Structure 1
Amino acid sequence: MASNTPAPEAPFDAFGGGAAPSAPNTEWNPTEDSLRAQNRSGGRHRVVKQRSNFARSSTVLGVGVIAAVGAGGLATAQEKPPVAISLPDLPDLHLPDPHDLPGVGELLPEESSETVSAARANPNPLTVATYATLDDTRGATTEQASHRAAQSVTGAGDAGEALRARILQQAEQQQASADAAEKAAAEKAAAEKAAAEAQAKADAAEKAAAEAKAKAEAEAKAKAEAAAKAKAEAERLAKLAASYSMPLSSYSVSATYMQSGSMWSSGYHTGLDFAAPTGTPLKAVHGATVKSAGWSGSYGYRIVLELEDGTEVWYCHLSSMTVGAGQTVGTGETIGRVGATGNVTGAHLHMEVHTAGGDGIDPAQWLRSKGLSI
């Protein structure tokens, strides 16, 4: 173990904080040569050794921190490739050995020359230590980082699967909701359509029933009206029959109205013929006034009765007359007798009916309108 020769006391502040006690009339002014001489005497190897230990400790600590941080980063990343980390070399600043500093060297432990030689053999202790420490710790750090990364990937995979399952579940729920809404809308539309069709059928049935009812009511009303009319007509005819009378009680129709033939000068028959024996009594069909009574050429003896409404009833070919012009007669009253006077082929009553205007009408139809049967 080499020992350092004590340096003369000088006003020197080893750490830049102030001057140490100084000897009177002395001054220590270190130069490069004096420092080199001190290093030759055994001071430099302490500086190198001290730097080496300090660099190694600092490097290991820095590498450990960096490895821990890198492992954490690798754990959070997903399979990223490792990156080598290195520190730059520090230049040789030729700093003084702490053992050579006054008041400090005595407090530091002695170091062996082997350690100083080993430190001198490695001119770049910081770089080598840094690289070696990184290589030594990279395997463990990379393995831990890979393990943590695998766990992170596995956790991420599990989280991704959970998220995917949740998304699929939500999609299925939304699809189910959409399908249910669509089904409900379709069912609602079908129900509304069925209800509309049922309502339309009900309306059609109701309309048909109303129409059938209206038709039945109309038919019933028409029948009732027809029956009432028929009844009223029957009553009217009955009343008229009571006030009207057939001209003969016994007869046979021998010629009808408008019947054609050469025996009539006009070529057709202008009245209704009732064949009956001569002398058969003739009755007034209704109450009337005798408008005329006498001879009338081809009509023979003729009586004309004028009714209240102006209608004229002619009785022709009479054998005798019992009334005169201007006389008033009642229904069923005898006014003459059947004969064969005028242009005839046999005994009969030739009866004609004329309106108030003078037009001839069918005597049979007129008699029926008065409720009489021929």
Structure 2
Amino acid sequence: MASNRPAQPTSFAPDDPQSFGFAYGKDEGPWEEWNPTEDSVRPVRGRHRVGKQRGGGLARSSTVLGVGVIAAVGAGGMATAAPGKAPVSISLPDLSSVTHSAKALISDGADAAPEGSTTPLTGAGLTTEDAAQGSTDAGEALRARIMQQAESQQNQVDSAAQKAAEAAAAKQAVALATKQQDAAKAKAAAAKEKAEEEAKAKAEAERLAELAKSYTLPTSSYTLTSRFGEAGALWSSGYHTGLDFAAPTGTLIKAIHSATVTEAGWAGAYGYRTILTLDDGTELWFCHQSSISVTAGQKVATGDVIGRVGATGNVTGPHLHLEVHPGGAATGVDPMAWLQSKGLNP
């Protein structure tokens, strides 16, 4: 049958593990004598800087633990040997450099920057402008830039809104001014038109007034009865062709304007009739006279007596029947309108 191989003898196996401040089980070991030298405890220059990488807490912890163990051994100065053997003296070199390196490693990890950078993490992202403004914290500087950008955008929005409001106000002002200007123009045009009409009416009135001096009404003390155009069976044409001035028999009849007597005598249904022809060719017919005071070819002036009111011809009572025939036409016009055009108002 197989048997276990006997354990190798050790040159350093203490019976009492507590002599070094720690214990081990029965299956642990074997123990050998350790004589540290200056080379074995010399720190590797430059290698401890690896701990400056972020997240490298394990490397720093291991290094510190190692330094702590070495320091503990150095503090003891001498280890207790196995029973029956003389104590072994342990001489250690000056470990101040190791301690200094450990302290530098720990202090570097508190404010370490990314590898290849000399800027602390708290200062990452700072611009030259931020530094000039006194910012030392990247987060605060970023917040300041965001707030500044938001304020700038808000200012742009406010400026655009103000410009739009100003443009709308200007447009409204222009529209109002245009409306007021158009209203003023319309008012001025209406006033001008009214003034022109008034001036024209005044001029016409003056003309008619002057003209009326050379025209006169054919009789006086009269009443207007039948007017031009009235329909009825009393007239052979079916409508009244003149203007009737009802007045007592014998009332004087006057020449309306200076003219030439072209006819004076009996005219059937018109009774005794006198026709005056004006210089423009207009014929004035004076009908139903009781007597005639002029003869054909005679010149008369405005207001001269040419006869008297009567009831001769086809009549129902004494009156003067006046007809106006422009240019001697067979069909006459409204005597009322013609008289008014001469400045007369029957």
Shift, 1:80, TM fit: 6.1
User: What is the number of residues matched between the two proteins?
Assistant: 265
Superposed CA deviations along residues 52-78 of structure 1, whole A, max 9, x for unmatched, are: xxxxxxx9565466x241554456554
Determine the structure 2 residue equivalent to 1:271: 242
Determine the structure 1 residue equivalent to 2:212: 241
CA contact (8 A) 1:290 1:324 kept: yes
Q: Distance in 2 between matches of 1:244 and 1:327?
A: 18
SS at match of 1:315: strand
Q: Distance in 2 between matches of 1:291 and 1:338?
A: 19
Any unmatched runs of 5+ in structure 2? Answer: 1-35, 64-89, 114-118, 126-135
Task: Tell me whether 1:363 sits opposite 2:324 in the alignment.
Answer: no
Q: Distance in 1 between matches of 2:46 and 2:172?
A: 84
Superposed CA deviations along residues 196-245 of structure 1, whole A, max 9, x for unmatched, are: 12212211221121122112212211221121122112111101211110
Q: Distance in 2 between matches of 1:329 and 1:335?
A: 8
Against the structure 1 CA distance between its residues 275 and 329, is the aligned structure 2 distance closer, same or farther, given a 3 Å change threshold? same
Against the structure 1 CA distance between its residues 60 and 74, is the aligned structure 2 distance closer, same or farther, given a 3 Å change threshold? farther
Q: Distance in 1 between matches of 2:193 and 2:158?
A: 51
**Aligned pairs (5 A) from 1:52-63:** 60=37, 62-63=39-40
Q: Distance in 2 between matches of 1:348 and 1:230?
A: 34
**Aligned pairs (5 A) from 1:82-101:** none
Q: Distance in 1 between matches of 2:268 and 2:50?
A: 156
Task: Select which of 121, 136, 141 maps to 1:160.
Answer: 121
SS at match of 1:320: strand
Task: Tell me whether 1:200 sits opposite 2:171 in the alignment.
Answer: yes
Determine the structure 2 residue equivalent to 1:90: none
Q: Distance in 2 between matches of 1:352 and 1:232?
A: 28
Moved more, 234-243 or 257-266: 257-266
Against the structure 1 CA distance between its residues 75 and 186, is the aligned structure 2 distance closer, same or farther, given a 3 Å change threshold? closer
Q: Distance in 2 between matches of 1:167 and 1:183?
A: 24
Determine the structure 1 residue equivalent to 2:275: 304
**Aligned pairs (5 A) from 1:313-332:** 313-332=284-303
Task: Select which of 140, 143, 153 maps to 1:169.
Answer: 140
Letter in 2 for 1:364: M
Q: Distance in 2 between matches of 1:358 and 1:145?
A: 146
CA contact (8 A) 2:324 2:335 kept: yes
CA contact (8 A) 2:52 2:112 kept: no
**Aligned pairs (5 A) from 1:80-119:** 81=59
Task: Tell me whether 1:212 sits opposite 2:183 in the alignment.
Answer: yes
Q: Distance in 2 between matches of 1:353 and 1:153?
A: 132
Task: Tell me whether 1:149 sits opposite 2:105 in the alignment.
Answer: yes
CA contact (8 A) 1:76 1:149 kept: yes
Higher share in helix: 1
CA contact (8 A) 2:122 2:138 kept: no
CA contact (8 A) 2:223 2:245 kept: yes
Shift, 1:161, TM fit: 2.4
4+ runs of 1 displaced by more than 3 Å? 59-65, 70-83, 139-147
Q: Distance in 2 between matches of 1:275 and 1:298?
A: 17
Superposed CA deviations along residues 233-291 of structure 1, whole A, max 9, x for unmatched, are: 21111012111100002211121112222222222211111112222211111111222
Q: Distance in 2 between matches of 1:169 and 1:309?
A: 110
CA contact (8 A) 2:245 2:319 kept: yes
Q: Distance in 2 between matches of 1:75 and 1:298?
A: 149
Determine the structure 1 residue equivalent to 2:14: none
Against the structure 1 CA distance between its residues 70 and 198, is the aligned structure 2 distance closer, same or farther, given a 3 Å change threshold? closer
Determine the structure 1 residue equivalent to 2:224: 253
Shift, 1:174, TM fit: 2.2
Q: Distance in 2 between matches of 1:337 and 1:206?
A: 71
CA RMSD of aligned residues (A): 3.0
Q: Distance in 2 between matches of 1:141 and 1:279?
A: 165
Q: Distance in 1 between matches of 2:47 and 2:236?
A: 152
Q: Distance in 2 between matches of 1:259 and 1:75?
A: 132
Letter in 2 for 1:153: G
Determine the structure 2 residue equivalent to 1:184: 155
Q: Distance in 2 between matches of 1:176 and 1:222?
A: 67
CA contact (8 A) 1:274 1:349 kept: yes
Q: Distance in 1 between matches of 2:333 and 2:140?
A: 105
Determine the structure 1 residue equivalent to 2:45: 69
Q: TM-score with structure 2 length normalisation?
A: 0.68
Any unmatched runs of 5+ in structure 1? Answer: 1-58, 84-131
Task: Select which of 308, 319, 339 maps to 1:348.
Answer: 319
Letter in 1 for 2:344: L
Letter in 1 for 2:110: T
Q: TM-score with structure 1 length normalisation?
A: 0.63
